[in-house]
Amino acid sequence: MEAVVFIFSLLDCCALIFLSVYFIITLSDLECDYINARSCCSKLNKWVIPEMIGHSIVTVLMLVSLHWFIFLLNLPVVTWNIYRFIMVPSGNMGVFDPTEIHNRGQLKSHMKEAMIKLGFHLLCFFMYLYSMILALIND
Amino acid sequence: MSQPGTPGAPAGLQAHNGAASASGAPYSNGPVPSAMMSSHIAVNQGYNSQLPGSYPHLLPAKTLNPASGQSSYHASQGSGQAFHRPPVASHPVGPSLHSGPVPQMLPPASQSPAAGPRLPGGFPPGSSPLPPVNWQHSPPSLAPQASHCPPAPSQPTVLGNTHLSAHHQYVPSGDPSLQNSCATSGSALPLRNPPLPTTFQPGAPPGPPPAGGPPLVRALAPQKASLRAAPQPSFNAAVNQEGITSNTNNGSMMVHSSYDAIEGGGFLATPQLATKNPQMSQGVGYAYPSLPPGYQNTTPPSSATGMPSSSLNYPSGPQAFPQTSLGANHLTASMSGLSLHPEGLRVVNLLQERKILPATPLQPPAPNLHEDIQKLNCNPELFRCTLTSIPQTQALLNKAKLPLGLLLHPFKDLVQLPVVTSSTIVRCRSCRTYINPFVSFLDQRRWKCNLCYRVNDVPEEFMYNPLTRVYGEPHRRPEVQNATIEFMAPSEYMLRPPQPPVYLFVFDVSHNAVETGYLNSVCQSLLDNLDLLPGNTRTKIGFITFDSTIHFYSLQEGLSQPQMLIISDIDDIFIPMPENLLVNLNESKELVQSLLKTLPQMFTKSLETQSALGPALQAAFKLMSPTGGRMSVFQTQLPTLGVGALKPREEPNQRTSAKEIHLTPSTDFYKKLALDCSGQQVAVDLFLLSGQYSDLASLGCISRYSAGSVYYYPSYHHQHNPVQVQKLQKELQRYLTRKIGFEAVMRIRCTKGLSIHTFHGNFFVRSTDLLSLPNVNPDAGYAVQMSVGESLTDTQLVSFQSALLYTSSKGERRIRVHTLCLPVVSTLNEVFLGADVQAISGLLANMAVDRSITASLSDARDALVNAVIDSLSAYRSSVLSNQQPGLMVPFSLRLFPLFVLALLKQKSFQTGTNARLDERIFAMCQVKNQPLVYLMLTTHPSLYRVDNLSDEGALNINDRTIPQPPVLQLSVENLSRDGAFLMDAGSVLMLWIGKNCAQNFLTQVLGVQNYASIPQTMTELPDLDTPESARTIAFISWLREQRPFFPILYIIRDESPMKANFLQNMVEDRTESALSYYEFLLHIQQQVNK
């Protein structure tokens, strides 16, 4: 059972890593002027909710399977994701707003955020991998 | 379109005109595209005879020319220019081409021997835009030049011709509309022409048309006839083949003969050239011919034909120009700055000096640059930086606590604008910067970009200077002589053929709208200005009205009256007939007129109270998306139906608390639609005429991101509020007739090391530095914030360049480039000395608007106050050595606290119950969209006492005496009951009459018997035949002339409703919720000295 939980988390984590990489690529495309703000933001906004859900599922799974440490590790990031989503001002077109993204260094902060998330997911990935192997061995 | 000429045109610009004509018309300074193009066409084809026909006034000009045939074509060119700026015409045009007469006008050229031939071309001596000092030729090259004088002149002509041919290629690519422009310019010409003849002395025999002339004339005739109809392609084709050859020949001849006339000597080269030219130009076509080696050697010298005196003027190598000269002179310049303005270095104790407001309007500070560079610098009205001395590092900037940013007014109506038509636009190969006055020429063939420091080659075409008609002087080209210049863009700058001007009007006709009666005024204004709408024969116009349904109007040609189509399915909008809803204005003018006449009556009985603005906007967008254009939306209430419906959010009781107000849009519908519009080159201008809350915060997005503008007329009513009616009429008049640029983009580049991180204004930032402006209008200002990325220690100058690429209403693609150059400094003191307090306040206001939207109003207010406190404490702790008591500020920032206090009391940021939410948001829109000058006037109006105007210190303009009363501080203590005071708040003028105002003023100026008989709403001064009245009116009209729009004058007596507005602008006084100026100073002092 334990192994199944971690295999699922591993897969989910992989997806999140890919998503982070996708965010970074798209944002840097915008930075380099390969795409315009409108298409960049609509691309990214599409993935904000999947990312949030994907991450929440793992976190909840960890809580359910009573892996406290991993749960607590994930909790701040999940909270941040949800907070960011909820706090979008009513007039904006999502977390990434094409009219704002070039202002006040938002692009840079989005980039930084995506990088940090990538690092975090990589860390989680190895943690799940280790836990999974451990669980498989124990079985 | 109508840019008045000024007599006192800067020499540089005039020179360009000359240049224009010299090179066979590539340049003109008129902003008016049409004339330019028309002249081009004429030129290229040698359609001389056509012009005389249409422009009778030109004839004399033509006849002047000794070199008859060709000269006539020049005359036509000249006319084109004269058209733009009549008074100037005397030098510009004539000189270069009609070189014959010119020399007589010009005093002997003092600059250089080479200038002999050159000067007449374009530089009126004395006013020569660039003193030779700047442009240094290496001495060795001078010598050979001298010896080879004759070939040199010949060279230019060759180039000139090729130039022409190159130029040709643009013509065909240009749109049909170009030809139409002939017509317009022609009609306008006679008016402006008269000055021309003065330039050219009659006496020369009327020249027979050039060889190529006659056939071409015939070609033109049909063209002319069909001007209003679709252009004829054959026209262009003919040009290419015939025009060139004949032209080139003539051109060379002409030039030579005129040279002869000037110098009294013949050129050996002349005959050869004449024969050579056709071959060369044909062979080369686009580019300049590669020159025979002999020429290459000889040409550079030519510029300095045995000029012993000039060699003095050119002491060092060319590359020395910007950097070295600056470097060397930097110190002296700053020293001289010191001696000239000891004021500027003074430290001011604000608590002791109460009278800090200068009596004359505040001038922007001049950057501390060598005067030769400064002379070339961009006009501060167009391009302004908050710090005229750029700090070397971000650390230094952070220390100064002053915002670094630019304020732009790129599309301002200009009296003088050099326009360059050239086949290649010279730009840096890596950063795409346009060549500008601040680049350095390493040698004749290479220039170094001043933004990215890349070394670029000077293209062959650029070596020829049409201004002087000398080869090998790239640094004298108009591009390198003007910080503000406009290029005619070749087809590489078009993603699609230039769009026609398209105007769509969307009217709210719900019951509420009909009640206000706005349709009458708007339709009347439109009727009056229909012919003045900027455009050409391609202009399209359309109308949509809406209440709970959407009404389209078919204006198909041939219909006896407009046909109305009603779409009631607002959930799924479709366009009933795509063909005839947007129609050609010229073809359907009668239908349009009849529609405008009937429209106000059509809905008088409407009882429909709902408003489906969202669907109407969608419909309008669909209608316009194939072409792009301008959509003018008139709305009188909160939209209640369909997509984009809004709910009232304003709660009057909560106005006091700064936290709870809704400054953010409630839906993203308008933003999304605006971005769609932006993508299809549609700009939406919103006219909101509403008594109740209409959620401008949400509605405004539609204009904000589509680069439109917002107009707001609170409580508009045709009977109850005549003042608003008048305001709407005046503003519509301006709105409909002002210049407009379509499908525009703007890019702002800055020297490597600086980076732009935030943009303010109405547009969409499409990619990192590309602003998408579906429409650009001359009344819009923009601001950007910058940071210093990498250290600027190894450079002494930084430059900023804004390039605005747009399609003019005549269908030409044009690029308007402004370049600003500023020094870099390394000490905090210098940063403070160079601070531009108006620009800083303007930028802070923009930042505060952003802050109030993203955070809250109180945050924004705190941020404004902190900006003052932080910068002044930085000054106190880092610059002032001895800590004196009081509030010590650098002279440059002495008005900073005052302006910030004024901002705090401005409608956007004030607290208190008297600001309605929509008015506040409108004020914020204005902050973001207004050019700095008007923003500062609205924030901190100028107050004058006008009951005792005298001629002392008066200005004299064109025989008019304009009194210059001193600017008073905005405090009630300066008002007195026995005076009359004029407050100039940018878009409004308020004349407050004191209760005991002198009887003399009442009768002589206001034309009333006593105070009590001043009418409640009086918005005009009677034109009385008294000196007092004349002075007052002269002063007021002088104030009005300085701005493109028409500020309404309110005459206010004690009981007038406007009195509150007047007193509210007394920013130095205490109000219920805000500090007085002195209290504010004390507060700041307390914080600074902490």
Residue-wise pLDDT for B792-845, tens only, equals 888 888 999 999 999 998 888 999 999 999 999 988 888 888 889 999 999 999
Tokens (6 digits) for B432: 């795409």
The fraction of chain B above a pLDDT of 70, given in percent, is 67
Mean pLDDT of B323-341: 40
Please give, rounded to a whole number of angstroms, the shortest distance from the CA of B698 to a CA of chain A: 7
* Mean pLDDT along residues B122-144: 37
Nearest CA to CA, how far is B659 from chain A (Å)? 15
A93 reaches B (C-beta below 8 A): yes
Average pLDDT estimate for B420-424: 82
* Residues from chain A contacting residue B770 (CB–CB below 8 Å): 33
Angle at alpha carbon of residue B143, lines to B139 and B148, rounded to 5°: 140
Q: Which of A99-108, B154-163, B679-688 shows the lowest mean pLDDT across its residues?
A: B154-163
Query: What are the φ and ψ backbone dihedral angles of B1026, each rounded to 5 degrees?
Result: -130, 155
Residue of B680, B747, B765, B773 to mutate, interface with A, max A Cβ within 10 Å: B765
What integer best gives the mean pLDDT of chain B? 70
Residues in chain A with CB shorter than 8 Å from the CB of B671 are 91-93, 99
Q: How far apart are CA B380 and CA B483, in angstroms?
A: 11
Please give the Cα distance from B500 to B498 (Å, whole number): 7
Mean pLDDT value across residues B589-601: 89
> Does the pLDDT value for residue A11 go beyond 90?
yes
ipTM, interface predicted TM-score of the complex: 0.90
User: For B1043-1070, how does the pLDDT look when each residue is reduced to its tens digit (9 = 90+)?
Assistant: 877 888 888 887 777 788 888 888 888 8
**Mean pLDDT calculated for residue range B58-72:** 35
Helix (H, G, I), strand (E, B) or coil at B1045: coil
Per-residue pLDDT at B652: 58
pLDDT confidence bin for B641, thresholds 50/70/90: confident
Contact A33 B767 (CB under 8 A): yes
Question: Which residues make Cβ contacts (< 8 Å) with residue B79, sequence separation at least 6?
Answer: B35, B39, B51, B55, B57, B58, B61, B93, B189, B193, B196
**Distances in Å between the alpha carbon of B1041 and those of B583, B599, B848?**
35, 34, 31
End-to-end CA distance of chain A: 9
Does position A122 have pLDDT exceeding 50, yes or no? yes
Chain A contact set for B675 (CB, 8 A): 38, 98-99
Give the rounded distance of the alpha carbon of B924 from its chain centre: 22
Is the pLDDT higher at B118 or at B538? B538
Q: How far, in Å, CA of B14 to CA of B7, rounded?
A: 10
Average pLDDT of the residues in B621-639: 91
Query: How far, in Å, CA of B1078 to CA of B1076, rounded?
Result: 5
A106–B contact, CB cutoff 8 A: no
Distance between CA atoms of residues B688 and B1007, nearest Å = 36
And the tokens for B922? 């409108």
pLDDT in the model for residue B486: 92
Average pLDDT (A86-108) is 86
A77 touches chain B (CB under 8 A): no
Least confident of A112-126, B732-746, B1068-1082: B1068-1082
Domain ranges of chain A: 1-138
Inspect the interface and report whether the beta carbons of A36 and B767 lie closer than 8 Å. Answer: yes
Q: Does the pLDDT at position B876 exceed 80?
A: yes
- Mean pLDDT lowest among B367-371, B616-620, B771-775: B367-371
Compute the average pLDDT of residues B540-568.
Answer: 88
The secondary structure element, H or E, covering residue B754 is strand B754-760
Q: Which of B20-24, B417-421, B929-933 has the lowest mean pLDDT?
A: B20-24
Per-residue pLDDT at B781:
92
Does residue A54 contact residue A16 with C-beta atoms inside 8 Å?
Answer: yes
Find out whether B214 and B49 touch, Cβ atoms under 8 Å.
yes
**What's residue B386's pLDDT?**
92
Task: Mutation target for A interface from B394, B431, B669, B768: give the one with most A CBs within 10 A.
Answer: B768
- Is B256 in contact with B273 (CB distance < 8 Å)? yes
- Average pLDDT for B527-545: 90
Of B653 and B1022, more confident = B1022
Cβ-based neighbour number of residue B250 at 10 Å: 28
A-chain CB neighbours of B664 within 8 Å are: 89-91
Q: What is the widest separation between alpha-carbon atoms in chain B?
A: 89
Residue type, B979: G
How many whole angstroms separate alpha carbon B765 and alpha carbon A102?
7
* Cβ contact B765–A103 (<8 Å): yes
Cα–Cα distance measured from residue B689 to residue B255, given in angstroms and rounded to the nearest whole number: 60
Q: Please give the share of chain A, as a percent, with pLDDT higher than 90.
A: 55
Long-range contacts, A74-78 (Cβ 8 Å, 24+): A74/A124, A77/A117, A77/A120, A78/A52
Query: What residues of B are in the A interface, CB distance below 8 Å?
Result: 664-668, 671-672, 675, 679, 697-698, 701, 705, 757-759, 764-768, 770, 850, 854
What is the C-alpha to C-alpha distance for residues B909 and B496, in angstroms, rounded to an integer?
Answer: 43
Quote the pLDDT of residue B523.
92
Q: Reply yes or no on whether the pLDDT at B877 is more than 50.
A: yes
Q: Please give the residue that has the higher pLDDT: either B40 or B715.
A: B715
Task: Give B648's Cβ-side CA count (13 Å radius).
Answer: 6
Whether chain B has a CB inside 8 Å of the CB on A139: the answer is no
| Chain B contact for A138 (CB, 8 A cutoff) | no
